[in-house]
């Protein structure tokens, strides 16, 4: 049975008499059945479209009972970050210096896959150990810095990189498009290849998440991570706090030492 058909069987008044309050009761009915917010929102959208059709196409004088604010909030999944063992397995499996350099830029500099694909030779300043992300997400420029292992990975790649008329850093290595700029999809296919080869659940974005988590666990300031990742809102960066358990643990014990020194409730009671 379709979601719309189910609603029409459930409702006990003519469709012309369905009110917003009835829709609220229907949402409660769906929640009681254990449906997920995403599924409930799909049901509501079908009903909204049905009433939109009756009003616009059939000319019925109705008020659409499904209000826009009735959609259920869907939980935002936590960013997936990789363990040290995962990272070791990934880089051990890397076949080429190009792949290692691409993955290191995402892991150590927090670059998005599109930013890696768009990176040009003139935007890398090896002497000052930094690179310019030009016109990133939200049309913002930003500076990111190069760690020692990123410098080594880039140096290895540039030693092997063939001559090309394109200024883009990363090139296709085989086939009819050899020496042409590597596309976003091309980079994603490389990470998918290594995911299959190693059995790891990894993606380009998980490398970026891992960089943020590692920096937070190393006590980097949240605003610093926000700036490096190019997040517009600090709330986006704060999501990483929810998975950075080691920092939370350190902060807790450090704060509790101060609290206990000031109060000493347990000691004074014994």
Judgement on whether residues 56 and 88 belong to the same structural domain of the protein: no
- Is 25 labeled as catalytic in the residue annotation? no
Q: What are phi and psi of 232, to 5 degrees?
A: -75, -40
Mean pLDDT (whole number) for 135-148:
78
Task: Say if residue 269's pLDDT is above 60.
Answer: no
- Is 157 labeled as catalytic in the residue annotation? no
Catalytic residue among 81, 100, 108, 208: 208
Range with the poorest average pLDDT among 88-92, 129-133, 242-246, 259-263? 242-246
Total domains in the chain come to 2
Domain membership of residue 255 (yes or no) is no
The pTM of this model reads: 0.65
- Is 208 labeled as catalytic in the residue annotation? yes
Q: How confident is the model at residue 189 (pLDDT cuts 50, 70, 90)?
A: very high
> Are 121 and 157 contacting, i.e. CB atoms less than 8 angstroms apart?
no
Domain membership of residue 261 (yes or no) is no
Catalytic residue among 46, 134, 137, 142: 137
Judgement on whether residues 23 and 59 belong to the same structural domain of the protein: yes
Write out the residue range of the structural domain in which residue 63 sits: 3-70
Judgement on whether residues 45 and 106 belong to the same structural domain of the protein: no
Q: How many CB atoms lie within 10 A of CB 121?
A: 12
Task: Say if residue 59's pLDDT is above 60.
Answer: yes
Q: How confident is the model at residue 114 (pLDDT cuts 50, 70, 90)?
A: very high
63 Cβ neighbours under 8 A, 6+ residues apart: none
């Amino acid at each position: 049975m379709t979601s719309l058909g189910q609603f029409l069987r459930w409702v006990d008044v003519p469709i012309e008499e369905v009110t917003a309050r009835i829709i609220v009761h229907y949402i409660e009915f769906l929640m009681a059945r254990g449906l997920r917010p995403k599924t409930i929102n799909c049901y509501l959208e079908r009903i909204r479209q049905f009433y939109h059709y009756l009003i616009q196409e059939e000319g019925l004088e109705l008020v659409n009972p499904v209000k826009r604010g009735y959609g259920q909030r869907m939980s935002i999944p936590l960013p997936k970050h990789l363990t040290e063992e995962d990272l070791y397995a990934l880089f051990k499996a890397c076949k080429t210096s190009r792949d290692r350099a691409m993955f290191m830029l995402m892991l150590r500099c927090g670059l998005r896959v599109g930013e890696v694909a768009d990176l040009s030779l003139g935007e890398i300043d090896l002497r000052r150990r930094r690179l310019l992300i030009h016109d990133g997400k939200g049309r913002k420029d930003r500076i990111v810095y190069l760690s020692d292992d990123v410098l080594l990975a880039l140096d290895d790649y540039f030693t092997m990189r063939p001559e090309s008329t394109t200024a883009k850093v990363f090139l296709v290595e085989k086939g009819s498009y050899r020496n042409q700029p590597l596309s976003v999809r091309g980079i994603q296919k490389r990470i998918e290849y290594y995911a299959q080869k190693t059995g790891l659940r990894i993606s380009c974005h998980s490398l970026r998440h891992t960089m943020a988590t590692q920096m937070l666990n190393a006590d980097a300031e949240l605003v610093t991570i926000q700036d490096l990742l190019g997040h517009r809102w600090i709330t986006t960066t704060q999501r990483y706090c929810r998975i950075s358990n080691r920092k939370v643990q350190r902060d807790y014990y450090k704060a509790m030492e101060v609290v206990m020194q000031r109060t000493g409730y347990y000691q004074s009671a014994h």
